[in-house]
Structure 1
């Protein structure tokens, strides 16, 4: 603004974004390169916690089979096996999820789908970790 120029009554800003569902909530997704605050996806964190807890219970011998543990937890065995697979995620992906730095492709629905067990191959399906 220059001196003497009138101040406009309305200023319009255009910010490109889109709304996506993450963990049952709606969230704004900013364009590539835009800074956005970190936000921990609680459903992903809870799924990771359950996966590592269940793995520990199986490894300790507390439960002999996944079916036995699934029955005790009151969930379907097929769901438990998909969640247990999260223990095979690369450490950098797990850390990013816990820090809220996971990319927009890293959703609970996406990580429950089959993914490569080789850590180096996982960056493809889950994109760049921020």
Structure 2
């Protein structure tokens, strides 16, 4: 680079953000008004896929009880029962999770806790 302006040795850039935990991972959050491109939370997506797969296996009659399916999958019955509750989420919430557009408060850990069964009441999860 001959004849060009010399490059300073130190350049300081200030980028306001904070790190928050989301789905067991750290995510960068920009200040109000700034929105990074969000990716779907792979932990939540995987849990949803499992839940709907397990529901399909139960409904098909391939497995008669959750306990039987849990034993076959090699996981605890209680964990499977909590994950299966994800199939009761409103379709808008499932779509938001798959698109990565749910609020940062929506995590697998949070959804493993009881949530309202009424879809209108669940919509508060998106905000």
TM-score of the alignment, normalized to the shorter chain, above 0.5: yes
The ranges of structure 1 where at least 4 consecutive aligned residues each deviate by more than 3 angstroms after the TM superposition are 8-12
1:57-82 CA distances to partner (integer Å, 9 max, x unpaired)? 00000000000000100111110010
1:7-60 CA distances to partner (integer Å, 9 max, x unpaired)? x97554251x32122232211122343221111110100000000000000000
Q: Is this contact kept in 1: 2:93–2:126, CA < 8 A? A: no
**Structure 2: how far apart are the matches of 1:12 and 1:58?**
55
TM-score (norm: length of structure 1)? 0.83
Root-mean-square deviation (Å): 1.7
Residues 103-118 of structure 1 mapped to structure 2, 5 A cutoff: 103-118=103-118
In structure 2, runs of 5+ residues without a counterpart are: 1-7
Total equivalences in the alignment = 119
TM-score (norm: length of structure 2)? 0.85
Partner residue in 2 for 1:72: 72
Partner residue in 2 for 1:44: 44
Distance 1:31 1:114, change over 3 A: farther
Residues 85-124 of structure 1 mapped to structure 2, 5 A cutoff: 85-124=85-124
Partner residue in 2 for 1:13: 14
